[in-house]
Every structure is written in structure tokens, then in C-alpha cells.
Amino acid sequence: DASARSLLTLINDVLDLSKVEAGRMEISDAPFDLAVCLQSGLASLDLTARQKGLSFRCQIDEDVPQSLLGDAGRLQQILINLVGNAVKFTDAGGRITLHCAQSDGRAEVVVTDTGRGIPRGKLESIFDPFVQVDRHLTPERQQGVGLGLAISRDLARAMSGDITVQSDAGKGATFV
């Protein structure tokens, strides 16, 4: 049942947020294969994007090591949220790209879309829990509760990274 799945997702998101904010989220530091992590984490979103009429492309630069050290599950959680939002907020005919590059000896992941974008004045607030920009423009069946970006940024920071965004209303968004 869709209602039960939505409730379970909400409960898990609230639990994750409270663990991260309390400093009790367990982050593993184990080797993992970047390509396998991306393929297994994003397979369903690639299908959803194609069904919606979106172009979805994933590229890993050759200089990015395939074997990384970190928490593959938490990285997948972040990427599923970022790409899922791109799919949600990009109209048919749009494009989404996920690009992995090496920057200062670290892997950098960039998710870019041609969606409706985010007004400049709201760029920082989108990382606050329960904040949703232009909720009235999102069909009810696609609405979340505004925890995904907050959890994702907290997880990235717990793994010694961060998430930044560049966007403007009507011009898509880029999350790094």
C-alpha cells in the first residue's frame, strides 16, 4: 500500500535526521566500487527518468579511482535523493546528468538538471528540514516532506564532504 510505504519512508527519514543531528549516525569507512555503487543505486531512477521522457546520463571520468573508501550505502542514499529530486522537478524532454570527477584528490559528484530551478533567495533554505520550495507547483503525488536535502547534506558532512547548489528559477539546478 502506497500510504504505508510513504509513512515508513517518513519515519525512516525523521530517524535518520535525528541520528545525524545527534552525531549518532554510523558511517562506515570501507572500500567500495564507485561504478557498482552508482549502477545499483540509480538503476530504478534511470528507468523512472526514461518513463517520464527525460534524458539521464551518468559519466565517471577516467582519473576517478574505481575503488573508493567510505560508506557506499550513504553515498547511494544521497545520490538517490539528488537524482530523484532532479527527476521529480524536470519536465518531459529535459536532461539530467550525473558526473563524477576528481577534485583535489577527492571524488566529486555533480548532478545537473534542466528542471524548474530554485529561486536564488531560497538556495540555502532548501537544506533546512521540512522546507519545500514552490510546493504548490508540485503535484500532490510527488510531494515529499522536505527532509531529503537536509539529510543528504548532513550525511555528506558526516563523511567529510558537503553539498552545494547553484540554481536560478526556471534554469535548472546543479548540486555538487
Whether 115 and 169 have beta carbons less than 8 Å apart is answered as no
Q: How far apart are CA 160 and CA 94, in angstroms?
A: 32
**Would you place residue 9 in the very low, low, confident or very high pLDDT band (cuts 50, 70, 90)?**
low
Residue with cell 570527477: 101
Task: Tell me the average pLDDT across 85-112.
Answer: 94
| Residue 7 vs residue 173, higher pLDDT | 173
Q: What pLDDT does residue 110 have?
A: 96
Whether 96 and 56 have beta carbons less than 8 Å apart is answered as yes
Backbone angles phi, psi at 111, to 5 degrees: -110, 120
Q: How far apart are CA 114 and CA 162, in angstroms?
A: 22
133-145 residue pLDDT tens: 654 455 554 445 5
The structure's pTM equals 0.82
Q: What pLDDT does residue 72 have?
A: 92
56-89 residue pLDDT tens: 999 999 998 888 899 999 999 999 999 999 999 9
Interacting residues of 131 by C-beta distance below 8 A, sequence separation 6+:
125, 146, 150
Q: Across all residues in the chain, what is the average pLDDT?
A: 84
- Angle at the Cα of 127 (from 101 to 143), degrees rounded to 5? 100
